[in-house]
Structures are given as C-alpha cells and as structure tokens.
Structure 1
Amino acid sequence: MNINRKTALKTLALSALGLPSLANKKKAKNEFSQQFASAWKSSESYTLRLYNQMPEDKLDWKYTPESFSWRTQFVHCITFNTAQLCGRLKIENPTEAKSKIKDYWKTLSKADLEKEIKEFYAWVGKIATETSLERLEKMEPYAGEDIPIWRLFYALENHIIHHRGQAICYLRLNNITPIGYIGW
C-alpha cells in the first residue's frame, strides 16, 4: 500500500476527530466502574452487617411455611442475580455447579454462607469492571422493557435491597433490633 503525504494527513485528521469519542467512551466506562464499585461496596457492607445479626440457630427460620427462610433470602440474592448476569452477558455461572449438589445451599453454616455472600459480591464487582463499555451499553429485555446492561447491575442491586428489607422484618420478628441504615 502506498501512503502519500495527503493520505497520511487525511488519516491523522480523521483519527484526531475520533479521539474525543474514544476518550468519552473511556471516561464513561471509568465513571460507571467507579460509581458502581462504590455503591456495591456499601451494599456488601450493609448486607453482611444485617446477615450477621441473625443467630446461626435461626438460619432456617421463616415466619410462614411458604415464606423464604432467613438463609434463602440471601441464597436467592446470590443465585438469582448471578443467573441474570450470566444469562445476559453469556458467561459461565459460578453458582451452577454448587446448585446441582443436593442440599448444598441448605447445609451451609452461617460462616460458610457469609463466605458465599462475599464471593458473590467480589464476583459481581469483577464482572462490572471487566465488562466492556460496548457490552454495558447493549440493550437487554428486563422487567417488561429494554435496558442497557449497565442499568441491569443497578436493577439487581435493587433486588438485593428488596430482600434486605425482608431480612429487617425477619430480625424484628425475632426481637432483634436491626442496625441502622447505611447510606451511600
């Protein structure tokens, strides 16, 4: 290929026009990563503090036969959110093998389930950081509408908030005063 001065200058000029767009994409990715990481860290802290308020002998407590147990509130957050991300991002589900083991989630000690919660939070944080901006911007169906993947991360955090709210009721029903809310 012959490159003359005119072609080289034209290529440089067009490249320069694309740099702000490239810089904006990098900035958008960094902003999402930083903002989500901060919110996610706060979510993990509050979730673990609430989780650890319930005594181990109450892990399988439920207020009605059809309600989730204390344990299931947290297992559900892990397995549902992981499945949602894996399905939409087309990545391997780290909880799938565990879920195939008979009674795996039902037999975890309090400390073992806490470890699973921490691993879940670390995994989601890693996925949020490693997912490309192009993929984060891809639209996916969720709850009756199409949303970008980056918004799915926040929708799944909202799912955790819902179950933490239920966990607060479980604590109160067991005469345990929940810790105060930890904001952002």
Structure 2
Amino acid sequence: MIKQFTFLGMFLLISSAAMAQQFSPKTAFLEKWENSKNYLLEIAESMPEEQYGFQPTEREMDFKSQLLHIRGNMLWLGTTHFSEEKFDRKALQENIPQTKAATIKVLSEAFDYVLERIKATDEDDFTREVDFFAGRKSKLQILNLLQDHVTHHRGQLIVYLNLNQIEPPRYVGW
C-alpha cells in the first residue's frame, strides 16, 4: 500500500509540476502570440494593396498605418522591457515599407522579434517591475499590454475590411 501511495504521490507531484510549467504566463503568452501573429497576418493579406491607404475617417489611421503602428509598439515594448538594446523610435520612420508585401514582412519580423525576446526571458523576470509612462508595471503587465494593443488595433482593421465589403478571416482565439 505504501509503495502504491508513494508512486501515485510521485506521479501527481511530477504531473503538477509539468502542468504548472506548461501553463505558465510565459508559455501561455507564447502560444497566444503565435496565433495572434498568424491571425493579424491573415487580416493584412485580406486587404487588397490598393486599399492599404483606406481610412474610415480623418481622425483614424489608414490600414497600413495601423499595421505599422502595431509593429512600432511591439518593437518598443519588446526592446525596452525584454532586451538590453536601446529602442530607436526614429528608426521606425526610416525605410517605411512601400508595398503590402513589405509591410507584412516587417510586421511578421516584429512578431518574431518579440517572440524571441520573451522566449529568452527567465520566468521569474515577469514579476519584476519596470518604469513605464503609466507608472511602475510588472513585466507580466507589459506582456498583457503587448497582446492587448495588437487586439485593439486588429479589431479596428476588421472593421476596415468590413467597410470595404471584405469578409475578415475566421477568428482565432488561442
């Protein structure tokens, strides 16, 4: 009986540890980030190149600018809070992609950049607080902001597609 209990206890302990690792904030983010990338790239592909300048109102960004804004935010947060590199905001204004294909390429690269920075971040580092314009925030909060910002602007892009009678790609949640 003791041997069975010990084996069962050991199995549960190992299973719990494996599940905790599998469902950590980092692994959950990485899975969601990859799906978010694929979904946004599908949206970017759905809009014809001649409509990349579409903007529903004067106070809103056009389709392409929305994509580049998402990219800039990813590079800013990914660099500033998950690397030792210095973020160069001016570099975003240089070599602005001129085509749909080039825009999608730099957007995809920005997703990959963040993915690699987060993969390289130690799990314990997500509890560390950093200075942020909205006050001190944990790196976990910065992760949430990264995804929330993409979601916010992706929602706008879905409206842009609908306004142009283009059916958006099927939603991907996880």
Instruction: Bin the TM-score by the shorter chain.
Output: 0.7 to 0.9
8 A Cα contact 2:74 2:110, kept in partner: no
Residue 107 of structure 2 is aligned to residue 114 of structure 1? no
Residue 49 of structure 2 is aligned to residue 53 of structure 1? no
2:157 aligns with one of 146, 160, 167 = 167
Measured in 2, the distance between the counterparts of 1:153 and 1:164 equals 17
Q: Secondary structure at the match of 1:52?
A: helix
Residue of structure 1 in register with 2:130 after alignment: 140
Tell me by how many angstroms 1:127 deviates.
0.5
Residue 160 of structure 2 is aligned to residue 155 of structure 1? no
Measured in 2, the distance between the counterparts of 1:117 and 1:31 equals 26
Please, what is the CA RMSD of the aligned residues? 2.5
Q: How does 1:33-72 map to 2 (within 5 A)?
A: 33-72=26-65
Q: Secondary structure at the match of 1:92?
A: coil
Tell me by how many angstroms 1:172 deviates.
1.1
Measured in 2, the distance between the counterparts of 1:77 and 1:100 equals 14
8 A Cα contact 2:80 2:87, kept in partner: no
8 A Cα contact 1:29 1:133, kept in partner: no
Q: Secondary structure at the match of 1:179?
A: coil
Measured in 2, the distance between the counterparts of 1:139 and 1:151 equals 9
Measured in 1, the distance between the counterparts of 2:37 and 2:75 equals 15
8 A Cα contact 2:129 2:139, kept in partner: yes
TM-score w.r.t. structure 1 length? 0.73
Structure 2 counterpart of 1:61, one-letter code: F
- C-alpha distance after superposition, 1:139-168 (max 9, x if no partner): 135574543202311221110000000001
Greater radius of gyration (CA)? 1
Which 5+ residue runs of structure 1 have no aligned equivalent?
1-23
TM-score w.r.t. structure 2 length? 0.77
Structure 2 vs 1, CA of residues 93 and 44 (structure 1 numbering), >3 Å: closer, same or farther?
farther
Measured in 1, the distance between the counterparts of 2:118 and 2:76 equals 15
Residue of structure 2 in register with 1:182 after alignment: 172
Structure 2 counterpart of 1:128, one-letter code: I
Measured in 1, the distance between the counterparts of 2:53 and 2:122 equals 39
Structure 2 counterpart of 1:43, one-letter code: S
Measured in 1, the distance between the counterparts of 2:93 and 2:107 equals 18
2:69 aligns with one of 76, 86, 94 = 76
Structure 1 counterpart of 2:60, one-letter code: S
Residue of structure 2 in register with 1:4 after alignment: none
Measured in 2, the distance between the counterparts of 1:142 and 1:69 equals 28
Matched residue count: 156
